[in-house]
Chains A and B, each alone.
Chain A
Amino acid sequence: MYKSKGRKLGLFILMKGVRMATLLVAICFISFLLVKNSPIDPIQAYIGADMLKVGPEQREKIAEYWGLDQPVMVQFLSWGSAVLKGDLGTSMIFRRPVSEIIGERFLNSLVLMIAAWLLSGVIGFIMGVVAAMKKGTWIDRMIKWYCFTLASTPTFWMGLLILIVFAVWLGWFPVGMGVPAGVLSENVTMVDRIQHLILPVLTISILGVANVALHTRQKLIDVLASDYVLFARARGEQGFVLFWRHGLRNVALPAITLQFAAFSELFGGAVLAEQVFSYPGLGQATVEAGLRGDVPLLLGLVIFSTIFVFVGNLLADLSYHLLDPRMREVRKL
């Protein structure tokens, strides 16, 4: 039985791997075509302000050197084979290897996203549970109103609002960046980093709770109306014990899955929040790369974010296989 279970898991991972590979190829191809057809001029992006000093002949030479005179498919293949070898190219605006920049930025973003992910998940879940247990009361209406309002609030606007209130008016937190300005990097303390992290995390979390809260609320209302909760009440269970024994486990499962599946929104939220707070993460790098025509960095980020979101969805799938006994246990009869 365990052998077949192991084989099943192996097959599952293999299928997911194939799917991810095909997805990546498709994403790379489409992004490459889009960038090629966009008004970005890689030479101008590379040379920048010194453009006036470069003549047409020199530009042609650069284009030839980079292979820009080749057909699009040839260009795609040469880029693609380099990517396969692990070489994502060199960022034009940072003048450093793309993989290095992504690695460094990702660490910054990871802290931000994990903090926001945990915070919004836990707070959203609790809010949903409270709303469902107190369904129809003022507290339920408050939570619902809050969620509906926030679900339709743009991240950047919420970020600005939080900046104005907490950084400008109250002055409790720094206005932006990942570390204090004018301090040597070896002198930056953990407290400094955390202080710079709080407002962006707050922005993403405040908006992220709506989804989980509303979903959890509805699911718990369904669970409370179920036959098995009725039977549990008939056996004398009530209040918190009833919720703990039967509500929690039946509601937590979809909530966890939803939270993993929300990786894409998390990434999207981080892009906007990092821009507003000038936080040096992946999101800010994406915006920079897009605005300044840094093609290698942009394509590297596209690949990376695809993998990131794919992993989120994979974890959502896996969480069901690991946590739900109906998926986990092979039928014994």
Chain B
Amino acid sequence: MSILEVENLSVSFKQYTDGFKEINHKVISSLNVTLEAGKILAVVGASGSGKSLLAHAILGILPSNANVSGIIKYEGKELTPIRQTALRGKEIALVPQSVNFLDPLMRVGNQVRTSVKNGDAVSAQRKVFERYRLGKEVEDMYPFQLSGGMARRTLLSTAMVSDAKVIIADEPTPGLDPVVIKEALDNFREFADNGCAVMLITHDIESALQIADKIAVFYAGTTVEIAPVEDFVGNGEAIRHPYTKALWRALPQNEFRPIPGSQPHPSSLPPGCLFEPRCEMATAECRQAPPKMRELRDGMVRCIHAT
């Protein structure tokens, strides 16, 4: 059952150039993802593809000059700004990427306690610290005293104590060693196995494939493909979109072959398919209009040529 649905989400930023001219930078365009209870959806894409903004849009914490259109539904009902304010931290929790997201002047134990919405905050915090093997002395530490692994477990604790049903993890494993990454991924699997819906935002497709149930591939602010994780095998014949195929083939253990070019900037998006300028399969038709997301073999794809 889907718990969170994002339909046709677009996010743009107003910007003034030359003093008066107002320009709308569209950083996310017609994006669709669905989160299901007990499942992990990995959102994979390069830096600057708008992944973090997707998380901020769901939580309603975008900066005030952002324009959001489209519909986000939580448990079947539309997620209005009022509902977002009421639900964030309670039903929907964010796991941010680094220690910078902790208040530098507040003891970490207290910061975890502020996330507890029901019951005794102190005992809830102590229980979760014990569970994540954080010693008793850690609760009195300040963020600068934490190691990378401890910081990550502390951030995870804030989501754990909140009893949220939807966990959005925004790049939770940057710059960590493989053992810690493995541990982090297992923690997210645990969340899902306990009935939470997990959205794992990452640029690390390899670790995403280890634990996710579905992979949503992001390119230039939109999803080009949503595929079950089982499709990522062999030479990637089961993969639908040419960009996903290119990603798969670029991995060292596969062909280790990158494709030329780079992701277009939000201010100069191509008129048709966003991937068309770099696509081997591109035809004149691709340049006409942006392709719609369509269902294909138990997945979704945004390509007119995909089979």
Query: B85 near A228 (CB under 8 angstroms)?
Result: no
Q: Mark B89-104, 1 if CB is under 8 A from A, else 0.
A: 1100110101011111
Q: Are A235 and B88 in contact (CB under 8 A)?
A: yes
Task: Confirm or deny: B32 has a beta carbon within 8 angstroms of a beta carbon on chain A.
Answer: no
Q: Interface code A48-89, partner B: CB below 8 Å = 1, 0 otherwise?
A: 000000000000000000000000000000000000000000
Which residues of chain A are near B93, meaning CB under 8 Å? 234-235
Q: CB of B114 within 8 A of chain A?
A: yes
Within residues 101 to 136 of chain B, which ones have a CB less than 8 A from any CB in chain A? 101-106, 114-115, 117
CB-CB under 8 A for A250 and B158, given A237-B89, A238-B85: no
Q: Are B94 and A235 in contact (CB under 8 A)?
A: yes
Q: Beyond A231-B94, A235-B158, A237-B114, is A250–B145 a contact (Cβ under 8 Å)?
A: no
Q: A329-B142, A332-B137 are in contact. Are A232 and B162 (CB under 8 A)?
A: no
With the chains together, A26 CA to B115 CA distance in Å? 56
Q: Write the A215-245 contact mask toward B (1 if CB under 8 angstroms, else 0).
A: 0000000000011101111111110000001
Contact call A332/B105, Cβ cutoff below 8 A: no
| Beta-carbon contacts under 8 Å, A17-72 to B | none
Q: Which residue of B lies closest to A230 (CB)?
A: B61
Q: Is the CB of A228 within 8 A of B103?
A: yes
Q: Is B141 an interface residue (CB 8 A)?
A: yes
- A227 near B101 (CB under 8 angstroms)? yes
A329–B146 Cα gap in the complex (Å)? 13
* Contact, CB under 8 Å: A230 / B142: no
Number of A-B contacts (CB under 8 A): 75
- B256 on the A face (CB < 8 A): no
Give the complex CA separation of A235 and B89 in angstroms: 4
A317 at the interface (CB under 8 A from B): no
Q: Considering only CB atoms and an 8 Å cut-off, how many residues of chain A contact the other chain?
A: 24
In the complex, A142 has a CB within 8 A of chain B? no
In contact, A329 and B103 (Cβ under 8 angstroms): no
- B9 lies within 8 A of chain A by Cβ: no
Residues of B within 8 A of A238 (CB): 85
Please tell me if the beta carbons of B145 and A231 are within 8 angstroms of each other in the complex: no
Instruction: Give the Cβ gap from B301 to chain A, nearest Cβ, in Å.
Output: 31
**Contact between A250 and B162 (Cβ–Cβ < 8 Å)?**
no
B208-247 near A? 1/0 per residue, CB < 8 Å: 0000000000000000000000000000000000000000
B156 within 8 A of A: no
The answer on a CB contact under 8 Å between B145 and A245 is: no
**B103 adjacent to A235 (CB under 8 Å):** no
Chain B residue at smallest Cβ distance from A325: B142
B147: Cβ under 8 A from any A Cβ: yes
**Cβ-based interface call for B196 (8 A):** no
Instruction: Determine the distance from Cα of A238 to Cα of B117 in the docked complex, in whole angstroms.
Output: 15
Return A325 CB to nearest CB of chain B, in Å: 5
Find the B residue at minimum CB distance from A250: B105
Residues of chain A with a CB closer than 8 A to B147's CB: 333
The listed residue with most A CB atoms (<10 A of its CB), out of B88, B105, B117, is B105
Range, interface on chain B? 20 to 34
B104 engages A250 (CB within 8 Å): yes
Does B59 touch A at the CB level, under 8 Å? yes
In angstroms, Cα B246 to Cα A266, docked, is 67
Is the Cβ of A245 less than 8 Å from the Cβ of B142? Answer: no
Closest Cβ neighbor of B96 among chain A residues:
A231
A246 at the interface (CB under 8 A from B): yes
A95 proximal to B (CB < 8 A): no
- Distance of B298 from chain A, by nearest CB (Å): 33
A228 to B88, CA, bound (A): 15
Most buried by B among A233, A324, A333: A233
Contact with B along A316-333 (1 / 0, CB 8 A): 000000001110010111
B88 (CB) vs chain A CBs: closest residue: A236
Contacts of B61 in A (CB 8 A): 230, 233-234
Beyond A231-B96, A235-B94, A332-B137, is A246–B103 a contact (Cβ under 8 Å)?
Answer: yes
In the bound complex, residues from chain A placing their C-beta under 8 Å from that of B94 are 231, 234-235
**Contact at B142–A326, with CB atoms within 8 Å?**
yes
CA distance A91 to B98 in the complex (A): 64
Roughly how many angstroms separate A234 CA and B55 CA in the complex, as a whole number?
Answer: 10
Encoded as 1 (CB less than 8 Å from any B CB) or 0, chain A from 246 to 271 comes to 10011001000000000000000000
A237 contacts which chain B residues (CB < 8 A)?
Answer: 89, 114
Instruction: Tell me if A326 and B144 are in contact (CB < 8 A).
Output: yes
B105 touches A245 (CB 8 A): no
| Residues of A with C-beta under 8 A to B88 | 233-236
Residues of chain B in range 36-57 having any CB-CB distance to chain A below 8 Å: 56
CB distance from A322 to the nearest CB of B (A): 13
Q: What residues on A are CB-neighbors of B141 within 8 Å?
A: 332
Tell me, rounded to whole Å, the shortest Cβ–Cβ distance linking B147 to chain A.
6
Q: Judging by beta carbons under 8 Å apart, are A231 and B144 in contact?
A: no
A236 to B6, CA, bound (A): 21
Interchain CB contact under 8 A, B101 and A236: no
Q: Which of B90, B96, B117 has its CB near the most chain A CB atoms (within 10 A)?
A: B96
Question: With A231-B96, A234-B89, A333-B147 given, is the CB distance from A324 to B105 under 8 Å?
Answer: yes
Q: Which of A226, A236, A245, A250 contacts B89 (CB 8 A)?
A: A236
Contacts A/B (CB < 8 Å), 18 sampled:
A227-B100, A228-B102, A230-B61, A230-B96, A231-B96, A234-B88, A237-B89, A237-B114, A238-B85, A245-B103, A245-B114, A246-B103, A250-B103, A250-B104, A250-B105, A325-B144, A326-B104, A331-B144
Q: Which 3 pairs from chain A and chain B are nearest by CB?
A: A236-B89, A235-B89, A231-B101
Given A231-B94, A236-B89, A332-B137, 10 new contacts (CB under 8 A): A227-B101, A230-B101, A235-B89, A236-B88, A250-B105, A326-B105, A326-B142, A329-B142, A332-B145, A333-B145
